[in-house]
Amino acid sequence: MSDEAGRQRPRIRKAVIPAAGLGTRFLPATKSMPKEMLPIIDKPVLQFVVEEAVASGIEDILIITGRGKRAIENHFDFHPQLEAMLRATGREELIDQVRDVGDRCRIFYIRQRRQLGLGDAVALGREHVGDEPFALLLGDTIIDPQTGSPPGLRQLMDAYEQQPATVVAVHAVPDDWVSRYGIIEPARESTPMQNLSRVARLVEKPEPGEAPSNLAIAGRYILAPQIFECLDRIHVSVGGELQLTDAINLLASEQAVYALAWNAKRYDIGNRIEYAKCFIDHALRRPDTADAVRAHIQQALASSGDSPA
């Protein structure tokens, strides 16, 4: 692929998915199960993330795991005994579902040995990614695009094709949520796309009065390979961790970084209420569950004295 001036523009082929967090907000469920394996009805959160990457055109995925995360590797692997049992009992159609995306891309794993944060996790991808821009998808975030829109990561990749540089997805959050996220300060500079802005600076989890905007980093990124040099130069900061946001901030002082404000719905599965909302929204949408779940919610609200909006 090349731009108007004929320069080669590297294609985004590889993705990194950090999935090494301890998931303490989901104890006791996460005592022996990775939070990324929490199901939305019958599909683990991480499978949604891998499917989004594959549907966006990613061919190669590096998942950053850690202690207690072996269930992730097993999930994307073949399971001959289970497949034999499904075949023997005439349920072949389930075989495709259990093999799923593991067949459609190459998945690699590396373990994060210390709990030093997202910056440390991403740095582990350096050798695998090499010298090309790559996608980063947080393993505990589900993105639901608006009906008819491309998958979340694809929207970022499309923006990258317009403006080949680091681009992070952002969404507007209420003022009292800014200290949960990385927040960007948009620069006043026009770009080829209406919802794309150049980033002047980024700050991780600012105090409410100190946030430069209410545009929060939404868990999807296209990163230039120079991010790895920036990760070498950052120090432990917010929460006693190495923050990816600090490294992107350094990068933004040296090369263009953009933010894409998208319309997709984002569920932060690290948060119990968001997880519950995601589960309910999906249950209300899936043809095999929608009617029964809707009827149940209406009945439950009526019997508790509330009525659905």
**Residue 226-265 contact track with ligand G1P, rule CB under 6 A, x = bound:** -----------------xxx--------------------
Query: What are the residues facing 217 on neighbouring strands?
Result: 170
Nearer to ligand G1P among residue 12 and residue 118 (C-beta): 118
What backbone torsions phi and psi does residue 17 show, to the nearest 5 degrees?
Answer: -125, 105
Question: How much is the CA Rg of the chain, to the nearest whole Å?
Answer: 20
Nearest approach in angstroms of CB 143 to ligand G1P is: 11
120 forms part of the interface with ligand G1P (CB under 6 A) = no
217 forms part of the interface with ligand G1P (CB under 6 A) = yes
Nearer to ligand G1P among residue 269 and residue 293 (C-beta): 269
Transcribe 169-214 into DSSP letters. EEEE--GGGGGGSEEEEE-S---SSTTEEEEEEEEES--GGG-S-S
Q: Which of 45, 138, 224, 252 binds ligand G1P (CB under 6 A)?
A: 138
Indicate the burial class of 119 (C-beta count within 10 angstroms; 0-12, 13-18, 19 or more). Answer: buried
Nearest approach in angstroms of CB 92 to ligand G1P is: 38
Q: At what angle do helices 152-162 and 45-55 cross, to 10 degrees?
A: 30
219 forms part of the interface with ligand G1P (CB under 6 A) = yes
23 forms part of the interface with ligand G1P (CB under 6 A) = no
**Closest residue to ligand G1P, based on beta-carbon distance:** 182
Report the alpha-carbon distance of residue 246 to residue 136 in Å, rounded: 16
Total residues in contact with ligand G1P, by rule CB under 6 A: 14
Report the alpha-carbon distance of residue 112 to residue 142 in Å, rounded: 22
Nearer to ligand G1P among residue 69 and residue 293 (C-beta): 69
Nearer to ligand G1P among residue 48 and residue 181 (C-beta): 181
Distance of CA 252 to the CA centre of its chain: 21
Nearest approach in angstroms of CB 224 to ligand G1P is: 17
216 forms part of the interface with ligand G1P (CB under 6 A) = yes
Indicate the burial class of 7 (C-beta count within 10 angstroms; 0-12, 13-18, 19 or more). Answer: exposed
Binding interface with ligand G1P (CB under 6 A): 118, 138, 141, 181-182, 204, 216-217, 219, 243-245, 268, 270
